[in-house]
A and B are shown apart, each in its own frame.
Chain A
Amino acid sequence: MGPHPDKEAVSLLRRRDPRGFDLAYAAYASRVRAFLLRLSGRPDVADDLLQHAFLRLAERGPELRADSDLRSWLFTVARNAYLDQARAAGGGRDDRALEAFASPASHVEARLLLGDVERALSCLRIEDRELLLLVGVEGFDPAQVAGMLGIEPATLRQRLARARARLLATLERLPGAAGRPKKAMP
């Protein structure tokens, strides 16, 4: 069995070998794009930020530590780029403008295509949405996510519990949810 694909990709990137980039792209491009698409609800924004994250990898790859966690690194860069862009779109002052940019629910087309859970996710605030996406959808360990967000693991657990509760409350409130049979979720 060969080395872990992340280790191999990092090792190649540290030697400026383009095969390292190809390995990383094959392993994570779809997941990072999916994360960005669910965060923004906009394919054009997801594609722009995907480019940003992977071009940053090409620039910084040779400086990565040998034991770097490539997946966390890419998701952190993608998330930060998204937040920067969302803040810039809101002029960095008005939280409502930030939410308007950041809420995929504001896009009619996206609304029509989404299933219940995705629709409920898209109605949440960015802080809740990113946590649920990283832990629930992408399967990151909560301790890893705490590191990525620069917060204490205990704080993350509290925020995750609140985000989870708000997701459930939003699911209940979705149009059409009342007439539907309830799914067995606490």
Chain B
Amino acid sequence: MTRPDPVLVRLAALPAPEPPSEALSERLRAAAHGRLRARRVHPAWALTIALSVVLYLAWAVHFASSLY
């Protein structure tokens, strides 16, 4: 059986410093919850927007070519 390293044992025994303040924790929780709830745009919406741009451009080309 190996003896634990006394230096590491002494380091492990260091007292825990104070935890984060309650105010900081509350602020951080609120910000983090907000970021988690902010969902990204669904890919279906991005596809719909891209399709409408393509359709509009196709219509614009067709319309312009019908003028001449």
Give residues in A with beta carbon < 8 Å to B.
13, 16-18, 20-22, 25, 29-31, 33-34, 37-38, 47, 50-51, 54-55, 57-59, 61-62, 115, 117-118, 121, 132-133, 135-137, 139, 164, 167-168, 184-186
Contact = CB atoms under 8 A, between A and B. Distances in A.
The 7 closest A-B pairs by CB, nearest first: A136-B11, A58-B32, A30-B19, A18-B33, A58-B35, A136-B8, A34-B17
Interface residues of B, number: 24
Interface string B19-62: 11100110011011101110100000000000000000000000
Contacts of A133: 11
A167 B6 CA distance: 12
Q: Chain A: interface secondary structure?
A: helix
Interface of B: 5-8, 10-12, 14, 16-17, 19-21, 24-25, 28-29, 31-33, 35-37, 39
A61 B20 CA distance: 21
Interface centre among B6, B8, B20, B21 (most CB of A within 10 A): B20
Contact of B36 (A25, A37, A58, A121): A58
Contact of A168 (B7, B19, B35, B36): B7
